[in-house]
Chains A and B, each alone.
Chain A
Amino acid sequence: MPVFQIDGEPVEYEPGEKVLSAALRSGKMIPHYCYHPGMSVVATCRMCLVDVIDMGNGRPAPKLQTACSMDATEGMKVETLNQKVEEGRKLVNEFLLVNHPLDCPICDQSGECTLQDYAFEYGSGKSEMDYSKRVNGWRDIGTFVALERNRCIQCSRCDRFTREITGTNEFGMFNRGHELTVDTYADRPMTNKFQGNMADICPVGAITEKEFRFKRRVWKLKKNHSICTGCSTGCNITIEHDRNEVFRLKPVENQNVNKWWLCDEGRLTYRLMNERKMRIHQPLGRVDGSLAGISWEEAYSAIAERVSELAPEPQAVLALTDTQASNEELFLLQKLLKDVFAADNVFCPLPKWEQSESDFFINTLITSDKTPNRAGALALQIQGDEKNERLTKTIENDLKVVFVLGNPFAADLDVQQKIKQAQLVVHLGVFYNAWSEIADVVLPGQYYSEKVGTYTNKQQRVQSTEIAVQPLRRTRPEWQILAELSQRLGQKNSFENVPQVFTAIAGETAAFSGLNFEKIAGLGIELTKKIKDNGKKIVSVQT
């Protein structure tokens, strides 16, 4: 790659690339507001000024240049720290503040506001403006975001977003000169499904997420890398939380998955992370027909006792799971049946699902498969088919022992009726559901914000989650429950953490061979041998 210099250090660039883009990619910070790598360059905020002391031909540029719109060229020398640049930035920041309300104390952006940060870093700290400031007022612009126009710095990122990213053209700039402002067209609220991103890309507190407004100061939030489990796309996110309460999910850039974006529906899944009423809080056992709280020890010994009494044939053992479960959980469930019962009856629902195709990338994020790990189930060869035909045949057998993980076949009452007749039904799950109702033993699992796991998304990319918040006190992660169960049922295994389980998956299955947990932890890795998914249907979506 060709090279130019920023502050004396060599920086590589791709032919045709702009100075700012190359600088940011190489980790060199040049302050900017309007530039966004995913959208067109407008060069209007004028914050990214740099001094080009040599344009590559030995001559300096006549005046400060905006780095976002300046082509990098071989031999070019750029300075970003000299006095001229500092003065340029100072005056741009002064202009931005003359009409800015500076209501940071009641502004949700405060603490992650680019204007605030740059004002501290590059501003002069005083103002010579002594006229009343421009007032534009608050606007209700959509279900998901609020607009406080007084704080707008007219960077037009939001405008470009509905034009270039969603293609919905719902939002634009109005009026001109110092009255230039942003709003929706014809006073209609926006309907695009990606509004939260406008709050992310707005550099100031003009567009904020309604869901988060006034809930918590951002500097109190701790952030953990994770995956959105709202659908099979697996957008990369941070879970942002304080005092064990999750406040919001924010996208993390991953060019191979979600680029910079996240859909609103996915953002709302944070609510489930704080859900307590529906949770299973402790192990439950059926005593005289109704479920009662028991200890983990009691639960495990009850299961072990019943299993040895029943001594089931392989065909009398069944496991059902949904595709919310992680790769490790699916693997250990399979292993439990194989090792303890020499059985391989593990089923999951595999209905048809739709993948959208669109001129606008962001539309392809949302899929109709609302589970994060269908591809993982396929890769691990969990059984199942579109119409559950094999499962229906299998449950004709006299069932003795059934394990249910999560909430599979939730709408299939026939299956539930049949399973109810089994001698021992064990439900492992996070939320109390119909399976808990018919189970003999219920084992409380943990939500994905509380545990480590890997998931295989629709592109068959394996990605992992971190522990973000403390789990409920008497729950255990499902992988651990499954490992402990198999020990109690006579198997020797020593899985102490998820990476160990993952190593076993990589060693024992063809699909995952060659992968390693550490490498997945960043931005994920795709399976080398692609699994065929017959349930996938492509549909075309226009904005």
Chain B
Amino acid sequence: MLEETLVLFKNIRNPEYDKSLAGYKKSGGFKSLKKVFGMKPEDVVQEVKESGIRGRGGAGFPTGLKWSFMAKDTGKPSYLVANADESEPGTCKDRELMLKDPHLFLEGLMIGSYAIGCHHAYVYVRGEYFPSIKTLNSAVDELYADGLLGPNPLGSGFQLDITIHTGAGAYICGEESALLDSLEGKRGHPRVKPPFPAVSGFNACPTSVNNVETLACMPFILSDGGAEAFKSFGPQNNSGTHLVSLSGHVNRPGVYELRMDVNMKDIIYDIGGGIRNGKKLKGVIPGGSSSPVMTADEVDVLYNFDDLAKKGTMMGSAAMMVFDEDTDVVKLLHRITRFYAHESCGQCTPCREGTHWSRQIVRDFLSGNGSDEKLKLLNRVGGNMMGTTLCALGDAAAMPIQSFVKKFPDEFRKYYAIA
């Protein structure tokens, strides 16, 4: 069987691991932070750039570059906000990190804060993640008690506070600018960009929003030789290990830490143990519900940002949802369109109206009112949301619609051909 490559899950995969601060320290924790405190912040950012890490929140934007865009000498404080809103359907990797090794993530958050000169970092946690919230809060308490947070951690003279903030359960609050609005106490509505958060983010101050997993990679990247090693875990431009949330009709669903040069086929058949009940594969949603769907014939591809992009889809948050031959694709799409209709913030026209309308059309197929015209209309409504909205949720809602219609047209026809 293919082996996991353990960087983020090094502790988690150790059955003896004690996730308390003492346990984390014993396993070598906070060495990187100590090293980082001896470096210049610019050099930390440079190391991160060299590691080639791309954001794990979905967009895959190079983290080092993002940090180097932070507006400097503005006279305003800078902020680092960890995006722990994890709500993309199928994604459940940040939860693993927060629940089972909170200090790894928090050390990463502290390293990031030092790198961008942030003295008050926030963790915006998805509202429904009660156990994670509890774990994070007690971990932060431990850090304060130990002096690792507050005025002078490790004698560095660097001041840092961390606040754990819970969301109220809206998917859109995972979008970084909506997250910042929500954090400020407003309705979570995505903002107009530019200005980007790096210039005007939390309370109109320079802000970087980073995914939990992205930050959890920092202790490794900043360890001795870490950046080089990190880069070696995948093809060029797709460095590092990453957490794959594998779900659906496989025998062994779960979150796996993999290099970025693993074939998708192997993830399904080897790591995932193949399709359950000996069924045949019908398709895969490769990177969270927003990513264009792939058919069984298309899965022979390396599972990373660039190779999937070449196939016309995307890795997104690395949440693979596998479905077998018995799956009703129209019902599946109906579930997805319901999700986006429910989660659209509603402020911009194409997404507000399009997510709801497309849901109505898909439902029409299920109730036997489909037709060739309706299928065309569905595709057109999806297309009209694509690239026309304020934030990426519009695209996220459009991509499954268009790809389902394109790749499984017969499944839709089955619903009305009989009549």
A178 adjacent to B172 (CB under 8 Å): no
B388 adjacent to A154 (CB under 8 Å): no
List 14 A-B pairs, Cβ < 8 Å.
A42-B347, A43-B390, A46-B388, A64-B387, A88-B388, A92-B388, A95-B353, A98-B357, A131-B357, A154-B349, A173-B187, A176-B345, A177-B355, A178-B341
Query: What is the size, in residues, of chain B's interface with A at 8 Å between Cβ atoms?
Result: 29
Complex-state Cα separation, A41 to B364, whole angstroms:
37
* Residue from B192, B341, B348, B388 in contact with A41 in the complex, judged by beta carbons closer than 8 Å: B192
Whether, in the assembled complex, B288 has its beta carbon less than 8 Å from a beta carbon of chain A, the answer is no
A177 adjacent to B342 (CB under 8 Å): yes
Cβ of A445 to closest chain B Cβ, rounded Å = 53
User: What are the residues of chain B within 8 A of A180 when measuring CB–CB?
Assistant: 345-347, 352
- What per-residue 1/0 map shows which CB atoms of B356-384 lie under 8 Å from chain A? 11001000100000000000010000001
User: What are the residues of chain A within 8 A of B354 when measuring CB–CB?
Assistant: 95
* Residue from B172, B341, B364, B387 in contact with A63 in the complex, judged by beta carbons closer than 8 Å: B387
- Write the chain B residue with the least CB distance to A92: B349
Complex-state Cα separation, A176 to B346, whole angstroms:
5
B355 adjacent to A178 (CB under 8 Å): yes
User: What are the residues of chain B within 8 A of A309 when measuring CB–CB?
Assistant: none
A46 adjacent to B389 (CB under 8 Å): yes
Cβ of A334 to closest chain B Cβ, rounded Å = 56
Whether, in the assembled complex, A508 has its beta carbon less than 8 Å from a beta carbon of chain B, the answer is no
* Residue from B187, B349, B357, B388 in contact with A129 in the complex, judged by beta carbons closer than 8 Å: B357
Among B170, B360, B364, B389, chain A packs the most CB atoms within 10 A around the CB of: B360
Cβ of A331 to closest chain B Cβ, rounded Å = 53
- What per-residue 1/0 map shows which CB atoms of A38-69 lie under 8 Å from chain B? 00011111110100000000000001100001
Complex-state Cα separation, A307 to B349, whole angstroms:
74
Known: A154-B347, A177-B356. 17 other contacts (CB 8 A): A41-B192, A42-B192, A45-B349, A46-B348, A46-B349, A46-B388, A95-B349, A96-B353, A131-B364, A153-B349, A154-B346, A156-B347, A175-B346, A176-B170, A176-B344, A177-B355, A178-B346
Cβ of B131 to closest chain A Cβ, rounded Å = 26
- Write the chain B residue with the least CB distance to A46: B349
Whether, in the assembled complex, A388 has its beta carbon less than 8 Å from a beta carbon of chain B, the answer is no
Whether, in the assembled complex, B96 has its beta carbon less than 8 Å from a beta carbon of chain A, the answer is no
Cβ of B346 to closest chain A Cβ, rounded Å = 3
- Write the chain B residue with the least CB distance to A178: B356
Whether, in the assembled complex, B343 has its beta carbon less than 8 Å from a beta carbon of chain A, the answer is yes
- Write the chain A residue with the least CB distance to B357: A98
Complex-state Cα separation, A45 to B353, whole angstroms:
11
Whether, in the assembled complex, B350 has its beta carbon less than 8 Å from a beta carbon of chain A, the answer is yes
- Write the chain A residue with the least CB distance to B343: A177
Chain B contacts with A in 300-339, Cβ cutoff 8 A: none
B353 adjacent to A98 (CB under 8 Å): yes
* Residue from A69, A88, A94, A172 in contact with B192 in the complex, judged by beta carbons closer than 8 Å: A69
Cβ of A497 to closest chain B Cβ, rounded Å = 52
Cβ of B357 to closest chain A Cβ, rounded Å = 6
B192 adjacent to A45 (CB under 8 Å): no
Cβ of B351 to closest chain A Cβ, rounded Å = 8
User: What are the residues of chain B within 8 A of A92 when measuring CB–CB?
Assistant: 349-350, 388
Whether, in the assembled complex, A414 has its beta carbon less than 8 Å from a beta carbon of chain B, the answer is no
Among A44, A71, A88, A96, chain B packs the most CB atoms within 10 A around the CB of: A44
B346 adjacent to A179 (CB under 8 Å): yes
* Residue from B170, B350, B364, B390 in contact with A91 in the complex, judged by beta carbons closer than 8 Å: B350
Cβ of B324 to closest chain A Cβ, rounded Å = 31
Whether, in the assembled complex, A396 has its beta carbon less than 8 Å from a beta carbon of chain B, the answer is no
User: What are the residues of chain B within 8 A of A71 when measuring CB–CB?
Assistant: 194
Cβ of A484 to closest chain B Cβ, rounded Å = 61
- Write the chain A residue with the least CB distance to B172: A176
The 3 closest A-B CB pairs, nearest first, are: A180-B346, A178-B356, A95-B353
User: What are the residues of chain A within 8 A of B344 when measuring CB–CB?
Assistant: 176-178
Complex-state Cα separation, A134 to B359, whole angstroms:
14
User: What are the residues of chain A within 8 A of B389 when measuring CB–CB?
Assistant: 46
Whether, in the assembled complex, A128 has its beta carbon less than 8 Å from a beta carbon of chain B, the answer is yes
Complex-state Cα separation, A98 to B357, whole angstroms:
8
- What per-residue 1/0 map shows which CB atoms of A123-161 lie under 8 Å from chain B? 000001101001000000000000000000110100000
User: What are the residues of chain A within 8 A of B353 when measuring CB–CB?
Assistant: 95-96, 98-99, 178
User: What are the residues of chain B within 8 A of A179 when measuring CB–CB?
Assistant: 346
A95 adjacent to B384 (CB under 8 Å): yes
User: What are the residues of chain A within 8 A of B384 when measuring CB–CB?
Assistant: 91, 94-95
- Write the chain A residue with the least CB distance to B364: A131
- Write the chain B residue with the least CB distance to A180: B346
Complex-state Cα separation, A468 to B278, whole angstroms:
85
Cβ of A496 to closest chain B Cβ, rounded Å = 57
A44 adjacent to B349 (CB under 8 Å): yes
User: What are the residues of chain A within 8 A of B342 when measuring CB–CB?
Assistant: 177
B357 adjacent to A46 (CB under 8 Å): no
Cβ of A499 to closest chain B Cβ, rounded Å = 48
- Write the chain A residue with the least CB distance to B350: A95
User: What are the residues of chain A within 8 A of B341 when measuring CB–CB?
Assistant: 177-178
Complex-state Cα separation, A507 to B388, whole angstroms:
61
Complex-state Cα separation, A431 to B368, whole angstroms:
73
Cβ of B289 to closest chain A Cβ, rounded Å = 16
User: What are the residues of chain A within 8 A of B355 when measuring CB–CB?
Assistant: 177-178
Cβ of B388 to closest chain A Cβ, rounded Å = 6
Complex-state Cα separation, A99 to B357, whole angstroms:
9
User: What are the residues of chain B within 8 A of A88 when measuring CB–CB?
Assistant: 388
Cβ of A48 to closest chain B Cβ, rounded Å = 11
User: What are the residues of chain A within 8 A of B388 when measuring CB–CB?
Assistant: 46, 49, 63-64, 88, 91-92
Complex-state Cα separation, A49 to B353, whole angstroms:
17
A128 and B377 in contact (CB under 8 A), knowing A43-B192, A44-B347? yes
Complex-state Cα separation, A176 to B340, whole angstroms:
11
- Write the chain B residue with the least CB distance to A95: B353
Complex-state Cα separation, A175 to B353, whole angstroms:
14
Complex-state Cα separation, A99 to B350, whole angstroms:
12
Cβ of B152 to closest chain A Cβ, rounded Å = 40
User: What are the residues of chain B within 8 A of A156 when measuring CB–CB?
Assistant: 347
Complex-state Cα separation, A88 to B347, whole angstroms:
18
Complex-state Cα separation, A64 to B390, whole angstroms:
12
Complex-state Cα separation, A177 to B351, whole angstroms:
8
Complex-state Cα separation, A131 to B384, whole angstroms:
19
Complex-state Cα separation, A91 to B194, whole angstroms:
24
- Write the chain A residue with the least CB distance to B373: A128
Complex-state Cα separation, A289 to B358, whole angstroms:
82
Among A91, A94, A95, A153, chain B packs the most CB atoms within 10 A around the CB of: A95
Chain A contacts with B in 105-119, Cβ cutoff 8 A: none
Cβ of B231 to closest chain A Cβ, rounded Å = 29
- Write the chain A residue with the least CB distance to B387: A63
User: What are the residues of chain A within 8 A of B390 when measuring CB–CB?
Assistant: 43-44, 46
